[in-house]
Chains A and B, each alone.
Chain A
Amino acid sequence: MDAIDTSPAIRARSLSKHFGPVVAVDGLDLTVRRGEVYGFLGPNGSGKSTTIRMLCGLLRPSGGDIDVLGFKIPKDAEALKRRIGYMTQKFSLYEDLTVTENLRFLAAVHGLPRAESKARIIQTLERYRIADLKTRLASTLSGGQKQRLALAGTVLHAPDLLFLDEPTSAVDPQSRREFWDSLFELADEGTTLLVSTHYMDEAERCTRLAILDHGRIVADGAPGELMSSLPGRTLLIESRELPRARQVLQGLPTVIAFAQIGASMRVLVADRDGVESDLLEALRSSDVEATIHAAAPNLEDVFVAATQKPPMPRGEAA
């Protein structure tokens, strides 16, 4: 066993990346401790992929400092590549190779000794339940199977740090749950994970997470912390005239955001005394009948408050 290293796995300071006039990442500060399952939550285009690519040394930052597992990036990127695993958003193994052939290729590319790699491949095939598929071409696998193969390929060389870029965007809910169980197994064995997602339920499972918006981290912390320190309150409004209720409330300064959930509407309001009665008053004066209850805050509320935008649809790709 390695001596316990208490330095952070990832530390980035004022990291930025420009593509011509487009600012993809804008002065981002990030610290990921060892053994964490750290989540990047954000809409598409918020800079999640670009940040991950910079942290792995695949992209050269326009500014800022990166330190990953003690390596200065991009200077020591090549040395870092032996210690990390990177699972791309799109399936990036060879479709025209079989499951075993893909894994053998990756074992060799990562320089696993021949004798060790054979045992390691068998073990990995079993662990990710693809042993029955080992002679199948990767192109014939289902979305969930492909994703298990991709994860198997990413952890084959037992990396200390895993980067997973929206790993579950192409799989069904059942596979997503199983996949996250696999990630926690890896974390229990001491691997640090950085996972980007745009699913709230996934983000909620992370030990810590950062909410990204327009290339910046707009909130970060443990999901519980983020929810309890929500800068506002969540109210549930029930009415038969939701569209009109929404019109009325839209103009009020105390209302931060809305989200319609079925026949009711979640409203995020400033945390001030008498907000409920103000809202009721406003609705009543416009002849909208409605009832208001307090609701327990969830991560979606945190996300909405942090990004000041309507939240991502729950459980479906944006």
Chain B
Amino acid sequence: MNLRRLGSIIIKELRQLRRDRLTFAMIVGLPSMQLVLFGYAINMDVRHLDAAVLDQADTARSREVVAQMGATEVLEFRYHTSTPLELEALLRSGSISAALVVPQDFERRMEDPGRPPLQLIVDGSDQVIQSAVRQLGAFAVRGNVGWTTRPPPVEIVNLYNPERRAPINTVPGLIGVILTMTMVLYTSLALVRERERGNLEMLIATPVSPWELTIGKVLPFIGIGLVQVTVVLLLGKLLFDVPVRGGLGDLYVAALVFIVASLALGIFLSTIARSQFQAMQLAFFVFLPQILLSGFMFPYAGMPVAAQWLAEILPLTHFLRLVRGIMLRGAGLMELWPSLAALGVFIVVALGIAVSRVHKRLD
């Protein structure tokens, strides 16, 4: 091994790297982003879960217990409902993650050590929320009574996933993760490839319009995305018995909107990347926060406000709300409209920026 030759290769490599400005930025950008996301945003200690109260006893003691429960800061009571139906609707639409029910015979139950005086209903479609609420099961309703309290004072009702099976929580989210990964990457690569290989120069000298070119290249991927959704759903059903409680049509509409949003993101990235390698890096760069902040891996409720704002921009966050709502809670698209609207806004903005950057010229 000749050191001078080796050195010259190293120097050449560093020079080339320095001139690939995007790659250079990624060397610093990726670890910084990961550190910030993991360090600040990811917090398994969930607090301030949106919750509702249904106080059917409505006595001085029951109001006191509700206030004490709120003081734990695990639950944030945003709604006071008067019927179980209202509670159910709030849970199904994803407006709340948990609900505290004080039964009519609360006072009598308080005197009966054999029966739990309170009931906590938790949205089991999110695993982390499940376990966060579970700790409230030992909440000392009757004062500090220690070992004598059996069964636990708060009965936890795990809605939507009573057996707490992991696949039921993961599979719906996985649809979103798989679509994000493939749709964004495929489109940005496909569009950049055309430019990198010189096909674009030939094409722009023909009567093809930039819209025809972009839409024509991207449309086949919508079909591919829908095939992927079907594969995950079928395997989820066959292998893990994951249910689809809402409408299958609703689910496919949600998936379609999400696919289009991901494609729009891919098109936008392709207008920045100069090579397929850069496109791949950019796709990874946007994939990471989607996985970490969307609520797929870590709870949205545990994130600081800034991270939550960022999560609201990401299409995967909204798709997870849609897909969990439809598949596990049996919600309809109309109940979940805010997430659908957010995806719509994302599509319009991303496509708008992308199209303003695609000229049918070389300069």
Task: Name A residues whose Cβ lies closer than 8 Å to a Cβ of B.
Answer: 19, 53, 56-60, 74, 78, 81-82, 84-86, 88, 90-95, 106, 109-111, 153
Contact = CB atoms under 8 A, between A and B. Distances in A.
Contacts of A85: 205
Contacts of B197: 92, 95
A92 B200 CA distance: 8
Contacts of A74: 361
Q: Which 8 A-B pairs have the closest CB atoms?
A: A92-B202, A86-B205, A92-B198, A90-B198, A109-B206, A81-B207, A58-B362, A88-B201
Nearest to A87: B202
B203 interface: yes
A19 B199 CA distance: 22
Contacts of A88: 198, 201-202
Interface range, B side: 10 to 19
Contacts of B362: 53, 58-59
Interface string B347-363: 00000000000001111
Contacts of A58: 201, 204-205, 361-362
Interface in B216-240: none
A109 B199 contact: no
Given A59-B361, A59-B362, A86 B202 contact: yes
B334 interface: no
B205 A110 contact: no
B55 to A, nearest CB: 67
B207 A60 contact: no
13 contacts: A57-B361, A58-B201, A58-B204, A59-B363, A78-B360, A81-B205, A82-B207, A84-B205, A85-B205, A86-B205, A88-B198, A92-B201, A106-B206
Contacts of A153: 202
Contacts of A111: 207
A246 B204 CA distance: 50
Interface of B: 197-199, 201-208, 360-363
Given A109-B206, A109-B208, 9 more contacts: A19-B363, A53-B362, A57-B361, A58-B205, A86-B202, A88-B198, A90-B201, A92-B199, A95-B197
Contacts of A59: 361-363
B208 A93 contact: no
A60 B208 CA distance: 18
B196 to A, nearest CB: 11
A84 B207 CA distance: 10
A86 B202 CA distance: 7
Contacts of B201: 58, 88, 90, 92
Given A58-B204, A58-B205, A82-B207, A93 B361 contact: no
Chain A interface mostly = loop
A153 B362 CA distance: 21
A89 to B, nearest CB: 9
A301 B362 CA distance: 35
Contacts of A60: 361, 363
Contacts of B198: 88, 90-92
A53 B206 CA distance: 13
Contacts of B207: 78, 81-82, 109-111
Nearest to A62: B363
A110 B207 CA distance: 6
Contacts of B360: 78
Q: Give the one of A58, A91, A110 with max B CB within 10 A.
A: A58
Nearest to A92: B202
A194 to B, nearest CB: 13
A166 B197 CA distance: 18
A56 B360 CA distance: 12
Contacts of B202: 86, 88, 92-93, 153
A60 B359 CA distance: 11
A86 B208 CA distance: 14
B205 A56 contact: yes
A53 B204 CA distance: 11
A74 B198 CA distance: 22
Nearest to B359: A60
A163 B361 CA distance: 16
Contacts of B205: 56-58, 81, 84-86
Contacts of A82: 207
Contacts of A53: 362
Contacts of A93: 199, 202
Given A91-B198, A93-B199, A94-B199, A81 B206 contact: yes
A20 to B, nearest CB: 11
A111 B199 CA distance: 18
A84 B232 CA distance: 49
Contacts of B208: 109
Contacts of B203: 109
Nearest to A79: B207
A191 to B, nearest CB: 16
A273 B363 CA distance: 52
A21 to B, nearest CB: 15
Q: Give the one of B199, B202, B207, B208 with max A CB within 10 A.
A: B202
Nearest to A17: B363
A64 B304 CA distance: 57
A85 B202 CA distance: 9
A251 to B, nearest CB: 40
Q: Give the one of B197, B201, B203, B206 with max A CB within 10 A.
A: B206
A111 B209 CA distance: 12
A105 to B, nearest CB: 10
